[in-house]
Amino acid sequence: MARDSEATLESMNRALTGVKPVSARRQLVNVGDRVFYLVARSLALLVIVLAFLLVADLFRGASESIRQFGLKFLIGTTWDPVAHQFSTLPTVIGTLVKGFIALLLAVPVSIGSAIFITFYTPRWLRPVISYPIELLAGIPSIIFGMWALFAMVPVVRVVQIWLKAHFGWFFLFDGPAVYGVGVLSGSLILFIMITPIITAISKEILLTVPRAQIEGMLALGSTKWEAIWKVALPYARIGLFGAVILGLGRALGETMAVTMVGGNSFALIHSLFDPVHSMASQIASEFTEATYSLYVSSLIYVGLVLFGITILISLLAQFLIWRISKGKIALLD
């Protein structure tokens, strides 16, 4: 009853003040208002147009290659600009492998950090830890690339040579270790880059867990970890999964850092040390060298595939995070 009358009151209120009218346009008698409405509306429309233009332009740019190679582009293993033959399976595999290795490392680290910050850190200390981590999320990818190339790769190279010398019989370590750049370096820098992103969102999601539920568990005599494991994580799992998927999307689309340390060679990978392109790095490193239209078109086709994969992932992530936060968390990273 009370809720009904409140709703009636609110709708009367809205109708009288015109602040949130049912039909926005009909309320606008003033000429300035009409003009303002039209301008704002067309700017909003422009956002939709831009989104469609993006998709249309990618398809148009890739059309020559799509006509020539069709879906075989995705399953073939030759990228031969001299012979005018293009297909991209090794790059797609390289991208996915690097993304998943990065995720494998980033998931425990970032969710662990998020749990630690949310449940084990006193309130006053929380920003001291989480603030720098969020700062890391805003650093340009080119700077990660610089650091990776000059500080990380030499270390990775030493480790790779050691691993190959002692465990070279294992297929993952049986590759060209001396380059330093390759699957392992690419995965590591992606891991470092997506960890702060996943941590920041996971933290926000864990904060949505009702405090009373955890306190109830503690009052029943559980340890803190039992309360987290049995109450907080089950409550937040969908949102956390969304955060992880979002991190994966960022990892797959990441360009500069991976271009600098991923090795950039077009081949099917056999070991952790093989240098390999990811889709973004292939576009970045070959685009300005592409001398004829089918070559350019094939690179845009690679971009279209990348776009498709990342959009699907980002839609999934958005849906999952929205489901738990009901729109309370604005996604920017």
Partner 1 sequence: MTLNSRDRYRKFVEWANWTGMLFCTSVSVFFLVAILGYVLVNGASYIDWEFLTAMPVPAGETGGGIANALVGSFLVVIVASLMALPIGIGAAIFINEFPSQGFGRTVRFLAEVLTGVPSIVVGLFAYALVVIPSGGFSALSGSVAYAFIMVPIILITAHEALRLVPDSLREASLALGIPKWRTIMGVVLPVSSRALITGAVLAISRALGEAAPMLFTAFGNSFWNVNLTKPIATVPLLIYTYATGPYEDWHRKAWAASFVLLVVVLFTSVLTRAFLRGKSNE
Distance between CA atoms of residues 290 and 287, nearest Å: 5
Burial of 136 (0-12, 13-18, 19+ CB in 10 A): middle
Is 226 one of the binding residues for partner 1 (CB under 8 A)? yes
Nearer to partner 1, 40 or 172 (CB): 40
Is 318 one of the binding residues for partner 1 (CB under 8 A)? yes
Is 315 one of the binding residues for partner 1 (CB under 8 A)? yes
Nearer to partner 1, 164 or 250 (CB): 250
Is 116 one of the binding residues for partner 1 (CB under 8 A)? yes
Nearer to partner 1, 90 or 253 (CB): 253
Crossing angle of the two packed helices 183-206 and 126-137, in degrees rounded to 10: 130
Nearer to partner 1, 61 or 239 (CB): 61
Radius of gyration of the chain (CA): 25
Nearer to partner 1, 51 or 75 (CB): 51
Is 234 one of the binding residues for partner 1 (CB under 8 A)? no
Q: Which two tokens stand for residue 172?
A: 């993952």
Is 171 one of the binding residues for partner 1 (CB under 8 A)? no
Pick from 235, 238, 199: nearest CA to 217 = 235
Within residues 270-299, the interface with partner 1 by CB under 8 A covers: 280, 283-284, 287-288, 299
> Which helix (H) or strand (E) element contains residue 85?
strand 85-86
Nearer to partner 1, 255 or 271 (CB): 255
Find the binder of partner 1 among 44, 74, 104, 178 (CB under 8 A): 44
- Least distance to partner 1 from the beta carbon of 297, Å? 10
Q: Which two tokens stand for residue 48?
A: 């939709």
Which one of 19-27, 67-75, 86-94, 268-276 is the stretch in contact with partner 1 (CB under 8 A)? 19-27
Residue 257, number of CB atoms within 10 A of its CB? 27
- Least distance to partner 1 from the beta carbon of 59, Å? 10
Q: b/e for 77-93, b at 16 or more Cβ within 10 A?
A: eebeeeeeebbbbbbbe
